[in-house]
Amino acid sequence: MPPIALAIRHLGFEDLGLLHPLLRDRGYDVRYLDVAAEGIDSDAVTDADLLVVLGGPVGANDTDRYPVLHEELTALRARLTTRRPTIGICLGAQLLARALGAAVAPGPATEIGYAPLALTPEGMTSALRHLADVPVLHWHNDCFELPAGARHLASTARYLHQAFAVGAHVLGLQFHLETDHRDIEHWLMGHAEALIAADIDPRTLRRDAAAVGPELSRQAANVVTEWLDKANC
């Protein structure tokens, strides 16, 4: 049986994107758990050979409004005790941070758009080194504190904590490296209200996606491939 890569999806178009073919070609049976429709399958979350927790427009603290997030946090805590490889992206990273005991709170400002990261010294020796000077897609309002024992990998001017790692088995990314620039229209239309609220012109994001997307795609594949290798996936 091939190994299973399970993606927890909170919103239809925020999917694995560029990561799907990469994982498929690596031999994974790629599956989705759509929490809005299916809820949380705790056994599937715990047992997956690789887990990717994707983004979404809700907040990691919104467990009263969206009870499925409470179930998800419980499943992630159980998953983390197994030390199986786990990646969190945006909301997914915030949920992982909470599951590891760190706080998540509103950030200083909305951060939406393509911009480079400032890699820490540990970030420069990690798989994220491929993203040095490469603009990545930011799309968030909240921020996480570093979990105890986590390595701080990246920041931006507005958000100190943009990425963290725990051992070789957990990677949390506040930003999006999975989003295919050729699919950016789903984001521009699906998150239109967020763009209006932040006074961001979708034409700017569309232009930036076309300009930096191809190089980001190449380096995103390098990041994930190196991380999977180091995690013995």
pLDDT 10s digits, 114-129: 999 999 999 999 999 9
Taking only the tens place, the pLDDT of each residue in 55-68 is 999 999 999 999 99
pLDDT 10s digits, 156-169: 999 999 999 999 99
Q: What is the pLDDT of residues 186-224, one digit of tens each?
A: 999 999 999 999 999 999 999 999 999 999 999 999 999
d(CA 119, CA 97): 19
Q: What is the mean pLDDT of the chain?
A: 97
Helical axes 91-99 vs 67-82, angle rounded to 10° = 70
Question: Phi and psi dihedrals of 34, rounded to 5?
Answer: -85, 100
Task: Please state the pTM of the whole predicted model.
Answer: 0.97
Whether pLDDT at 225 is above 90: yes
Residue type, 196: I
Residues 6+ away with beta carbon under 8 Å from 104? 59, 60, 61, 94, 97, 98, 142, 143, 144, 145
